[in-house]
Structures are given as C-alpha cells and as structure tokens.
Structure 1
Amino acid sequence: MRGRSGAGLVGCLLLGALLGGCATAPTTVPPAPEATWQAHRAAVAALQHWQARGRIAVRAGEEGWNAAFDWQQRGDSYLVRLRGPFGQGGVELRGDPRGVWLRRNGHPPVFATDPETLLVQQTGWRLPLSGLGAWLKGMPERGQDRELQWDSGGRLLRLQQRGWHIDYQGYGRIDGVDLPRKLKLKRDSLEVRLVIDRWQVS
C-alpha cells in the first residue's frame, strides 16, 4: 500500500510539473544584436544606384490623394516622378545636394534649395523628400538625430526622425539584400503609405 501511495505521489508531482510547464509564458525571440543591424545597414548603404517603383497614398485630416511613384537614385542625385494625384498629370523632381528642380506639365521648371517647401508651394502636397530616399531603403537619414528599432533579422522595424514616425510593414529580398516593400509614415495628422512594387539595384 505504501508503495502504491508513493507512486501516486510521484505521479501527482510529475503531473503538476507538466501542467506548470504548460502554463509557462512562451519565450519571445529577443531583438537582434546591434552587430546584425550594422551588417544589414552596411549591405544597404552599399547600394548607391537604385530605383523603386510603386504606389503612394497621402492623407491629411479629411483630405488625401494617391499616385504612382518612380524614385531613381544615383549617389547623391535623385529623380522622382509622381503620376496621377488630383488629375494634375505628372510631377518631376530632380535634385542633388545643391537643390531641386520641379517640373509640371504646362509649367516652367522651378528651382529651390528646400525640396519640401518647393513641393508645397507648387502643388500643395506635403512629402518628407529630404529623408525619404534613405527611408525607402530601410535606412535612417545621415546626419539627423534618430530613434530606431530593428527586428530579429537586423532590419529596421520602426524609425523616428525629422519628427516622422516610420513603421516598416514588409520586406523583400533583392539581389541578396532585404529591402522594404511596404511602409507607413506619420507626423501629426499627416499619414503617408508607400507600397514598393519593384526594386532595381546596381
């Protein structure tokens, strides 16, 4: 009898241990160490010539617009084309560290040193053009304060810079490098969503 009672006690203890193990909270994957982020960042930074094509949706309060975009980057120079918003046809911005030219159908080209101000003055649209070239690649803009968080693969998950909050919602692997496919930018009441349908890198 004592032997059976001892076995029963052992069984209860084992059952309790198993039940306790089942009740334990699942472990979470810790964030990647900074070295993983730095390795990914170096791979992305090496892409000096690239092109991203996709769709953009901008909402400010009750107003909003949608467009197709084509961003081409060659070192510090860029060419951005927006097609479709408000039925105004195409808008082209060609810039480098000295400034930016804006061209619209039926209008003479206009030059300015500040791309955001120029875009607002000429179209009424607000876009963070100064930082967007880096953010599209999943990188913080150089020389600007930032707060960032990366995922287990060392890719940017969240970024705060220039007063903007950027959430990265999807990546794709392009020529061995993970590049964003979908991101959301928010600042105050202004929200910008971008979907990148096609990447080309060289």
Structure 2
Amino acid sequence: MKLLRIRIFYLFSFVFVLVLTGCATKPQAPISLNASAHQAQLANIHQWSIKGRMAFKSTEDKFSANLNWVQNTQEYDVKFTTFIGTHLMSMRSTDEFAEMQIDDQYYVDANAETLIQRTTGWHIPLSHLPQWIKGQFTENATYRFDERGLLQSLSPHCTSCGEWQITFGQYQKINHVWLPHQLVLTNPLEHNTQIKIRIHTWQLL
C-alpha cells in the first residue's frame, strides 16, 4: 500500500508539471516588419475611427478631453467630451468647408486649422493628423524607424506642416495592421505647444 501511494503521488506530480508546462505562455516572436511595406499598408487605410484622450498645452493655454475621431477618406468628424461624456467641442471637415460647435455656437471656415485657431487660439495640425495618427510619414520628412520597422519619430519638412516634431509609441496590431496608440507632438515655435494623444481603441472601417 505504501509503495502504491508513492507511485500515485509521483504520477500526480508528473501530471501537474505537464499541466503547468502546457498553461505557460509561450514567448512571442519579436516583430520584424518591412518598413516600406508597412507604410504602403497604412497609406491604403482611408476609413477608421479612434477613441482616446488628447491633451493640449502651450505657454498660453492648456486643454484636456476625451477624443472621438471618425475619418472617412478626406472628411472627418472630431468630438471632444469631458470624462463623463459632456460635449465640449465638435468639428466636421470636408473638402469644401469646416464647421465647429462650441457652447451651442456654430462657426464655419474654409480651413479646419484656421477655424480652430481662430475660435480657440490653439494651433493643431488637423490637415496632417489623419496620416500621423496612423503612424504614416509625410513626404519630404525626416523620420526614424525602430528595430521592428515601425515609425518612431517624424520631422515633417513642408510649408503647411510647420515645425512639428512627432514621436510614436505603444504600437498594437489591429486587424493585421500595426498602429500606434500614443503620439506626442511638439512645436517650440508655436508657443511651445505640446499635444499628447493617447488612443484607447482603434477601429478600421
């Protein structure tokens, strides 16, 4: 009987070790992407939405709110709300015009960036954010990829881009596409402006 109990003990110990081994999480293979192919993949994404948070800070003002952005090719809708969902500001931009609602007041302009700067005083590169949010670089820019082939930093060089410096992080795979979940934009020439975007959810439409 004693010998039988010893054998049963070792048998259960062996099975327990096998179960633990089977349940152990296998280490993930390191990411290695072709940077050019990944950028081409991003360029083909024209419809998407994000939910997250944006913080704006300059020497003259600061602002923080929940962000809801829906992109449909060249048109987009952006909404800012408080943490309890109270509407703060919304904007819709098309090829022809941009309109904004703040405190039940409506404003219209031909350009979204001009509109938001005129009404709030904030300089936000709205015309380029649809590309930058995806982690896609713009033409004639200085950029750096990390060891995985993902865009890490970007310095645009175009008349309409301004002197923005962008860093990207917290990439996650969404529908087989690696997309950033954190962006930090800085522009020392625009009142030391800094914009932080933290994306909680991505949806490719």
TM-score for the superposition, normalised by structure 1: 0.75
Report the aligned-residue RMSD: 2.1
Alpha-carbon distance between aligned partners in 2 of 1:155 and 1:63, rounded to the nearest angstrom: 32
Misfit runs of 4+, over 6 Å: none
Distance 1:63 1:104, change over 3 A: closer
Alpha-carbon distance between aligned partners in 1 of 2:110 and 2:35, rounded to the nearest angstrom: 33
Alpha-carbon distance between aligned partners in 2 of 1:152 and 1:99, rounded to the nearest angstrom: 41
1:41-77 deviation digits (Å, cap 9, x = unpaired): 1111221110011001111127422111111011111
Q: 2:145 aligns with which of 146, 150, 153?
A: 150
Matching residue's letter, 1:125: W
Alpha-carbon distance between aligned partners in 1 of 2:77 and 2:117, rounded to the nearest angstrom: 18
* Structure 2: gaps of 5 or more residues: 1-31
Does 2:184 match 1:184? yes
1:2-25 deviation digits (Å, cap 9, x = unpaired): xxxxxxxxxxxxxxxxxxxxxxxx
Alignment partner, residue 169 of structure 1: 169
Matches within 5 A, 1:49-198: 49-61=47-59, 63-84=61-82, 89-107=87-105, 109-141=106-138, 144-161=139-156, 162=161, 163-188=163-188, 189-198=192-201
More strand by share: 1
Does 2:204 match 1:201? yes
Matching residue's letter, 1:117: T
Distance 1:146 1:97, change over 3 A: farther
More helix by share: 1
Identity of aligned residues (%): 27
* Structure 1: gaps of 5 or more residues: 1-31
What count of residue pairs does the alignment treat as equivalent? Answer: 164
